[in-house]
Structure 1
Amino acid sequence: MNTRTPALLITGALLAATTACGAQSLDAAGNDAEQPAAEVVLDEAPAEEKAAGVINAITPDKELAAKVPASVKSGGLKVVSSIGYPPMELWASDGKTAIGFDPALARAIARKLGVKYTLTDEEFNSQIPGVLTGRYDFVISSMTDNAERQAKITFVDYVKAGSGMLVKKGNAAGIAGPADLCGKTVSVVDNGSSLELAEKYDAECASGGKQALNILKFPGDTEAMLQVINGRAQATVTDYVVAAYKAADPKVEVEAIALEGTESPWGIGMKPDNTALIDSVKGALDSLIKSGEYGKLLAAWNLDKLAVQSAVVNGGK
């Protein structure tokens, strides 16, 4: 769904190691009373992260931390995402630190579970295979929770969002909704929910006796959007929160159009048999929701409308 660059490891724990305020003392499982408590240096969010103050104030929930899988306790929470999909995922000004709502929530979950955190930027189509092979503990990448993906991974749903379109400023093509895409060229991210929607609209055009869509597929959202800017495509289908974020930038010169009735949950994806981790992530998200910290993370990125009331497992259809 985003621009793909070579995998880049962002180790938030290294940032935290330079400051004492990131250290939290947790009792190590199975320790004798005479043994010292394990010192875990938690991830500190960078200054450019809009929710940094909220994240850095989160302290571990000892009950949840005690149930975290041993591999995560020892190796930290290994997260995969795709950077370049603002406001959900983007690079800070240093070009190597991930910020945005998805990295913010991943950091918050790690802190709630009392573990370190690393995030790898990976091409969208490689994320689920990376989770299934154990390279990553979970994927958080604006990924729609649907039945097809549930056949491979298990989701803990963390927001609910709809789709939208981007058209060039002025909308010379006169696109107001899906029916106006018939006979037009539309750019999408390959293998994402935007492709599914474009194919759905193409079928509707065919059934109505209208011209088909010319669908251009790209590995990342930025490439798909560029086709609209350079005039190769009349529209690109994406998530509405991303479309609105990009349309708010006067330098981009695009307009956002909401696609009504497309709301669906986005999930944190994990290996189905890793039930201990699924329970830990669900517990951490529920704790963040109950404490109000989750709402503050959303508000920091102006995403209040995406809020869910509880952490649901595989809520997508």
Structure 2
Amino acid sequence: MKIRIAILMLLACTACGAQSLTPESGGESTQPVVLDQAPADDKAAAVINAITPDPALTARLPAGIKAGGLKMTSSLGYPPMDMLGSDGKTAVGLDPSLGRAIARKLGVKLAITDEEFNSQIPGIITGRYDIMMSSLSDTAERQTKVTFVDYVQAGAGMLIKKGNPDGIDAPADLCGKTVSVVDNGSSLKLANTYDADCKKNGEKGLDIIKFPGDQDALLQVNNGRAQANITDYVVAAYKAADLDTKVEALAIDGTESPWGIAMKPENKELIGAVQGALDALIKSGEYGKILQAWDLDKLAVQSAVINGGK
């Protein structure tokens, strides 16, 4: 009899040794989550893989994300923010790095899906994705559709031909010139503003050519179809550093604004958890080290602000 009781007690406790990243609650799994390792191509891999989860933040997540992980969308044609690794399929860049860091701090796995830019906000609204990290400017107009947790601050820039044969030093010099942009992005909004300014001053407006992805828009200066490409300055500087492109980058003064992690406004638990995770990474110094790994420490913010864009 004593042997039988001992065996029953042993069987009852076989699962007692497992440690869960999420507190036990009614019906939730207590099995530990095996977190993803950042790929070797991620310049911040060493920092990311050393991040430890915060159980208090994990507890704030919706049950579905605790169980299934975080679904992130990014448009992987925007170096150094969003791009493909050497294998042609792994997401790397600052946005994937910070996405991985946030997921690890929350104690959940992360799936990153490459999506065409114009489909990303609809994907957040319909619930296909949980978060969007795609160098997206936090604007008042976009706040009517999604809620942002701001994670960097950056400004716009222009790519022009090397040696500046067209004499472009500022937006006012774009009048009468062909300018390439990503369709439906902040660069298109800027191009439309400069076009209106030219016409208001009695000059010829811009010939704006739009593309679904940034790489196609960037190529237009190199192939001679456009005299300038309006994009984010970090992207312009990265592209100009490649000597094969034969372009140079110009910063557009006064365009600095926050970029945000976009989420569905109704997902308040997730929004709060992501804000908490980003703040924790900022305070620990891990956020700063990730930016430094990508040579983008000038984009740093001091705290995670919700809907800080105007």
**TM-score when scaled to structure 1?**
0.90
Matched, 1:269 2:269: no
**Aligned match for 1:26, one of 14, 17, 21:** 21
**Aligned match for 1:86, one of 79, 82, 85:** 79
CA distance in 2, matches of 1:253, 1:51: 29
Aligned CA distance change for structure 1 residues 138 and 75 (closer, same or farther; 3 Å): same
**Aligned match for 2:111, one of 88, 106, 118:** 118
**Aligned match for 2:36, one of 22, 28, 43:** 43
Structure 2 residue aligned with 1:147:
140
Equivalent AA in structure 1 for residue 270 of structure 2? L
Structure 1 residue aligned with 2:170:
177
- Shift of residue 169, structure 1, vs aligned partner: 1.2
Structure 1 runs, 4 residues or longer, greater than 3 Å off: none
Aligned CA distance change for structure 1 residues 228 and 74 (closer, same or farther; 3 Å): same
Matched, 1:66 2:66: no
State whether residues 186 and 236 of structure 1, in contact with CA within 8 Å, keep that contact through their aligned partners in structure 2. Answer: yes
State whether residues 82 and 92 of structure 2, in contact with CA within 8 Å, keep that contact through their aligned partners in structure 1. Answer: yes
For structure 2, the 5+ residue unaligned runs are 1-17
Greater mean deviation of Cα atoms: 260-269 or 65-74: 65-74
- For 1:10-37, what per-residue CA distance to the aligned partner results, in whole angstroms no more than 9, with x for missing partners? xxxxxxxxxxxxx9842443179xx994
Aligned CA distance change for structure 1 residues 225 and 86 (closer, same or farther; 3 Å): same
State whether residues 143 and 266 of structure 1, in contact with CA within 8 Å, keep that contact through their aligned partners in structure 2. Answer: yes
CA distance in 2, matches of 1:122, 1:73: 24
What SS is found at the alignment partner of 2:52?
A: coil
CA distance in 2, matches of 1:26, 1:74: 11
What SS is found at the alignment partner of 2:149?
A: strand
What SS is found at the alignment partner of 2:253?
A: strand
Matched, 1:245 2:238: yes
State whether residues 102 and 140 of structure 1, in contact with CA within 8 Å, keep that contact through their aligned partners in structure 2. Answer: yes
Structure 2 residue aligned with 1:11:
none
Aligned CA distance change for structure 1 residues 27 and 140 (closer, same or farther; 3 Å): closer
Aligned CA distance change for structure 1 residues 27 and 216 (closer, same or farther; 3 Å): closer
Equivalent AA in structure 1 for residue 155 of structure 2? G
Structure 2 residue aligned with 1:190:
183
Structure 2 residue aligned with 1:10:
none
Matched, 1:296 2:304: no
Equivalent AA in structure 1 for residue 25 of structure 2? G
- Shift of residue 146, structure 1, vs aligned partner: 0.2
Structure 1 residue aligned with 2:198:
205
State whether residues 28 and 38 of structure 1, in contact with CA within 8 Å, keep that contact through their aligned partners in structure 2. Answer: no
Equivalent AA in structure 2 for residue 230 of structure 1? N
Structure 1 residue aligned with 2:47:
54
- Computed over aligned residues only, the root mean square deviation of the Cα atoms, in angstroms, reads 1.5
CA distance in 2, matches of 1:218, 1:257: 21
Matched, 1:137 2:137: no
State whether residues 24 and 41 of structure 1, in contact with CA within 8 Å, keep that contact through their aligned partners in structure 2. Answer: no
Give 1 or 2: higher strand fraction: 1
State whether residues 154 and 313 of structure 1, in contact with CA within 8 Å, keep that contact through their aligned partners in structure 2. Answer: yes
Equivalent AA in structure 1 for residue 207 of structure 2? N
State whether residues 188 and 217 of structure 1, in contact with CA within 8 Å, keep that contact through their aligned partners in structure 2. Answer: yes
Aligned CA distance change for structure 1 residues 86 and 28 (closer, same or farther; 3 Å): same
CA distance in 1, matches of 2:215, 2:281: 31
Identity of aligned residues (%): 69
Total equivalences in the alignment: 293
Matched, 1:167 2:167: no
Aligned CA distance change for structure 1 residues 208 and 277 (closer, same or farther; 3 Å): same
Structure 2 residue aligned with 1:14:
none
- Shift of residue 75, structure 1, vs aligned partner: 1.1
- For 1:160-210, what per-residue CA distance to the aligned partner results, in whole angstroms no more than 9, with x for missing partners? 000000011121101001010000000000000000000000111011111
CA distance in 2, matches of 1:263, 1:24: 45
**Aligned match for 1:157, one of 150, 156, 178:** 150
**TM-score when scaled to structure 2?**
0.92
- For 1:215-270, what per-residue CA distance to the aligned partner results, in whole angstroms no more than 9, with x for missing partners? 00100111111111110100000000000011011111110000000000000000
What SS is found at the alignment partner of 2:243?
A: coil
CA distance in 1, matches of 2:254, 2:22: 48
What SS is found at the alignment partner of 1:251?
A: helix
CA distance in 2, matches of 1:99, 1:29: 34
CA distance in 2, matches of 1:54, 1:24: 24
What SS is found at the alignment partner of 2:103?
A: helix
- Shift of residue 62, structure 1, vs aligned partner: 1.1
State whether residues 24 and 114 of structure 1, in contact with CA within 8 Å, keep that contact through their aligned partners in structure 2. Answer: no
CA distance in 2, matches of 1:314, 1:37: 35
